[in-house]
Amino acid sequence: MLTGKQKQYLKALASHLPATVQIGKDGLTFSVIDSAEKNITANELIKVKINQNSAEDIRHVAELLADNLGCELVQVIGRNCVLFRQKDDKSHYELPR
């Protein structure tokens, strides 16, 4: 579980990231989950965008995706969400306490 200070730190870092995973009109499919899994394993911090043509609710999809990936939902803003899963060793991020 992330603290408020840690979430604030990750939000600041994620603001400059491009969306690496996009969810289209088909919604949350296995290919989207697989793509998100690969991205979060490699990068730890990812931004997911739900396109305008999707009828999905961003908050609901973000929570489902976080549950499927076993990661933390850092932020939902507009049609974007930020997810974080820290590596056990050699992490890119030093989280504040």
pLDDT, mean of residues 56-66 = 92
DSSP 2-62: --HHHHHHHHHHHTTPPP-EEE-TT-S-HHHHHHHHHHHHHHSEEEEEE-TT--S-HHHHH
pTM equals 0.93
Instruction: Answer yes or no: is pLDDT of 90 > 90.
Output: no
Tokens found for residue 58: 């961003």
Q: Which domains does the chain carry? A: 4-84 (3.30.110.60)
- Average pLDDT for residues 31-47, to the nearest whole number? 96
C-alpha–C-alpha distance, residues 46 and 83, integer Å = 5
